[in-house]
A and B are shown apart, each in its own frame.
Chain A
Amino acid sequence: MKEINVTLKVWRQDGPNAAGHFDTIPAPGIKDEMSFLEMLDLVNERLIADGKDAIVFDHDCREGICGTCSLMIDGQAHGPQKGTATCQLHMRKFADGDEIVIEPWRATAFPIVKDLMVDRAAFDRIIEAGGFITAETGGAPDANITPIPKTVADAAMDAAACIGCGACVAACPNSAAQLFTSAKVSHLNLLPQGQAERYKRVEAMVDTMEELFGSCTNHGECEEACPKSISIDFIALMNSEYLKSKFKNRKRLSQHD
């Protein structure tokens, strides 16, 4: 185990409407086995010992699955390691003497709550608009009544793996939410169970997304930043679904293509 000394430049902001600034905080004696968030825990313990306010940041599972952690590290969403959420990043990826810049997600749809914590409720609004299959409790048919080809289930699962962290939005120069929205649209629209609401779903979700987020200009930064490496192919799929929804004769929806 090695020990390194790093210096943090951390964004501090007292509240949504306060002006923010960078604090420079030396972080000596960091073991390289530590996770990035364990390093922040230690820094916070030292801040408290000095009578200062701990740095506010979102986190919970620390296993890369809940999507709560959300840091811009040296200008990259979730930091330098590809396909890795902040909580799974380890200090062995940094070198002695490094200066590490830590910022919150920056996007108008994600207002800053405090320090490094942002409000991502806009994602929930997109799901509320249509990101579901209407299947009220009770009365579901036997689960094996509709065989689903493994390839279809696998493709749906690839999309469903999205953890809703918002790195895609943070990485996008336009703060667009296409990757998040398309992952959910594709998960549900690919499955046989999702067919009944297929066009209504994509319309409602895309319209809500456009109200709240910027527009996509195909930069592809989102896929690069995604800790689950969700493919931008899903954006193409969503766009084609959306287009179809505009042309579809609604009365014939049950006879899908």
Chain B
Amino acid sequence: MELNSKIPEGPVAEKWTKYKFDHKLVNPANRRKYDVIVVGTGLAGASAAATLGEQGYNVKAFTFHDSPRRAHSIAAQGGINAAKNYKDDGDSVWRLFYDTVKGGDFRSREANVYRLAEVSVNIIDQMTAQGVPFAREYGGLLDNRSFGGAQVARTFYARGQTGQQLLLGAYQQLARQIGLGNVELYNRTELVDVVVVDGRAAGIVVRDLLTGEVSSHSAHAVVLATGGYSNVFFLSTNAMACNVTAAWRAHRKGAAFANPCYTQIHPTCIPQSDDFQSKLTLMSESLRNDGRIWVPKDTNDTRSPDQIPEADRDYYLERRYPSFGNLAPRDIASRAALVEVASGHGVGPLKNGVYLDFSEAIGRLGEKVIEERYGNLFEMYERITDESPYKVPMRIYPAPHYTMGGLWVDYELMTTVPGLYAAGEANFSDHGANRLGASALMQGLADGYFVLPNTIANYLAPKLGEAVVPTDHPEFQAAEAAARDRYAGYLAIDGTRSPDSFHMELGKIMLEHCGMERTKESLTTALELIPPLHEEFKRDLRVTGSGSSTNQTLEKAGRVDDFFELAQLMCLDALTREESCGGHFRAEHQYPDGEAMRDDDHFAHVAAWEWTGDASNPTRHVEPLEFNDVHLAVRSYK
């Protein structure tokens, strides 16, 4: 397998301009001769499908949701970064580029990150033109806030519902194209396989979630914008239906999977309260603008937080990272919370949280201002915990949230399968080993609106006049038959355990052994535990109901099956990466003060895994990373 990143020549700041000039074009009148499939209608997929539709391609868009507007992007709260420098506080494209490479702990590709920073400004213009009601100042200009890992205010937001408003914007553009007949939407339809013919992406096999019917669609190019895989941990901040199936099926058909061990555990979530819990709820990072994080100094302190005087509190982030303080990047803030809880300083009934305290901000700014900034988050917190953050500090704890790893893509966002693209959280491209807050929305929209429409043209142009592979081709037929067998197989096992019970057990293994802190020992244990559990799944699964009408238990079975194989790859990747970087913390590799110790001599590379047919024995390939513009340095937020 060859990993050619196809990074254009020239200085980093000119690469994208040069690429756009050099790539092949498809004449507007010819575009309707091409079929493009876009799977996923979150920010990345909706923006890609809408733009390709506008440009004149025949687009088919697929989602397992009932409407594109339900994609998980809708849940993003805090905001979206852009190098607008509207605050004149020293921001620039270069600084956003620098912050992102550094925030990713020097494990991302410079050229991609620079392009992301460059188009970030267009995103804000585009979304404003579409009617996204971003927060404004009294004079009518756009407002900004700060997010972790940055010392400038470059985050645009729409109350605590930024993802919702951006997704509605992209969805409305997509809806317009659907209304005009340029995009055909297949809702409640799940991709269950990718079809590759003569080494190129030929189309997809899907399952209709209402009828169970399996069918095929062919196209000249296929885009996967199917989101991340945090739900491998069972409990995460992701929506319940998020899963890895689309990316995993592509992987099994030849697409390399990059850096699967890079997962982000978000520092500010509501701590788990019991075993019945189905998911964890994020409290946006934006809260760290005004909230201060602390724990009692004394591990036996049983006083209520308002009775604990300043002298007896440890504002540990402010103490350890004076210049970034409460706005230290996510991986650092999460691990610091883990250290506090593990050493017995945790708060709450289960001693599994730390305080996020707004009393000082409320004193300084008044309750009204705080309500305006965070009202809906406070309300959400109170609904779940029955406690008001206006009166008592929030309790928070880290939870799985985002996956930096994903399908390997080159500069054009093409996977190792020609004609198959990956966009948004589904690819691995821009965040290295740790994503900065408010950068996922930016990346999804950059990929969909501004990158893919250019790079796909480059692939399609030479194919003018070529017919798509017909869906009665033996490869399609074989994939369809395999998919039918797969789902019939789950029903036929007739064992004793539900898909959820397996998922929960797998999630516990992953959180304990491949979570915030990993060791050779823990990963080896996980690799011993997962395959037998997967075998048990294949032997003892119970799916009730039938395969010919809506069956959510059956849908879940397919997704959990794929999570098992992914989980193994994550552990293998974590085991081979003998260093600590960003969200990947190997306890064996740390400085005496507990900071992550990278090993640039041996690991300044992307690990891209190739499927071999045996989940426990994939092949590891390496794409070396070069840092010409942001110099490799020990990341410091002190």
Q: Across the interface, do A53 and B544 meet the contact criterion of CB distance under 8 Å?
A: yes
Given A31-B276, A64-B380, A65-B164: A193 and B131 interface contact (C-beta under 8 Å)? yes
Q: How close is B55's CB to chain A, nearest CB, in angstroms?
A: 8
Q: Across the interface, do B210 and A113 meet the contact criterion of CB distance under 8 Å?
A: yes
Digitize B284-328: 1 where CB-to-A-CB distance is under 8 Å, 0 elsewhere.
Answer: 000000000000000000000000000000000000000000000
Given A133-B172, A140-B128, A193-B129: A52 and B278 interface contact (C-beta under 8 Å)? no
Contacts of B626 in A (CB 8 A): none
Query: Which secondary structure dominates chain A's binding surface?
Result: loop
Digitize B230-245: 1 where CB-to-A-CB distance is under 8 Å, 0 elsewhere.
Answer: 0000000001110000
CA distance A84 to B171 in the complex (A): 24
Q: Across the interface, do A38 and B544 meet the contact criterion of CB distance under 8 Å?
A: no
Which of B51, B65, B136, B277 sits near A153, CB closer than 8 Å? Answer: B136
Interface residues of A in 2-54 (CB under 8 A from B): 14-15, 31, 33-35, 37-38, 41-42, 44-45, 47-49, 51-54
Binds B, one of A72-80, A97-105, A122-130: A122-130
Which of A31, A132, A157 sits near B158, CB closer than 8 Å? Answer: A157
Contacts of A106 in B (CB 8 A): none
Q: Across the interface, do A60 and B129 meet the contact criterion of CB distance under 8 Å?
A: no
Q: Across the interface, do B278 and A35 meet the contact criterion of CB distance under 8 Å?
A: yes
CA distance A50 to B86 in the complex (A): 61
* A47, A56, A60, A148: residue with the most chain B Cβ atoms closer than 10 Å: A60
Q: Across the interface, do B126 and A56 meet the contact criterion of CB distance under 8 Å?
A: no
Answer whether residue B449 sits at the interface, using C-beta atoms and an 8 A cutoff.
yes
CA distance A133 to B173 in the complex (A): 8
Answer whether residue A217 sits at the interface, using C-beta atoms and an 8 A cutoff.
no
CA distance A251 to B68 in the complex (A): 35
Digitize A155-179: 1 where CB-to-B-CB distance is under 8 Å, 0 elsewhere.
Answer: 0110011011000000000000000
CA distance A42 to B423 in the complex (A): 35
Contacts of A31 in B (CB 8 A): 274, 276
Q: Across the interface, do B126 and A135 meet the contact criterion of CB distance under 8 Å?
A: yes
Answer whether residue B14 sits at the interface, using C-beta atoms and an 8 A cutoff.
no
CA distance A256 to B551 in the complex (A): 52
Q: Across the interface, do A132 and B172 meet the contact criterion of CB distance under 8 Å?
A: yes
Answer whether residue B470 sits at the interface, using C-beta atoms and an 8 A cutoff.
no
Q: How close is B83's CB to chain A, nearest CB, in angstroms?
A: 13
The total of chain B residues at the interface (CB under 8 A) is 80
Answer whether residue A191 sits at the interface, using C-beta atoms and an 8 A cutoff.
yes
The total of chain A residues at the interface (CB under 8 A) is 77
Contacts of B84 in A (CB 8 A): 143-144
Contacts of A154 in B (CB 8 A): 133
CA distance A34 to B276 in the complex (A): 7
Q: Across the interface, do A148 and B136 meet the contact criterion of CB distance under 8 Å?
A: yes
Answer whether residue A250 sits at the interface, using C-beta atoms and an 8 A cutoff.
no
CA distance A122 to B135 in the complex (A): 30
Answer whether residue A137 sits at the interface, using C-beta atoms and an 8 A cutoff.
yes
Q: How close is A72's CB to chain B, nearest CB, in angstroms?
A: 17
Contacts of B173 in A (CB 8 A): 132, 135-137
Q: Across the interface, do B67 and A133 meet the contact criterion of CB distance under 8 Å?
A: no
Contacts of A58 in B (CB 8 A): 66
Q: How close is B5's CB to chain A, nearest CB, in angstroms?
A: 25
CA distance A64 to B281 in the complex (A): 11
Q: Across the interface, do A135 and B70 meet the contact criterion of CB distance under 8 Å?
A: no
Q: Across the interface, do B67 and A187 meet the contact criterion of CB distance under 8 Å?
A: no
Q: How close is A35's CB to chain B, nearest CB, in angstroms?
A: 7
Contacts of B276 in A (CB 8 A): 31, 34, 38, 41-42
Q: How close is A1's CB to chain B, nearest CB, in angstroms?
A: 8
Q: Across the interface, do B550 and A117 meet the contact criterion of CB distance under 8 Å?
A: yes
13 contacts between A and B (CB under 8 A): A34-B276, A51-B542, A66-B70, A88-B384, A121-B187, A124-B178, A143-B128, A144-B86, A147-B136, A147-B139, A160-B133, A161-B161, A191-B133
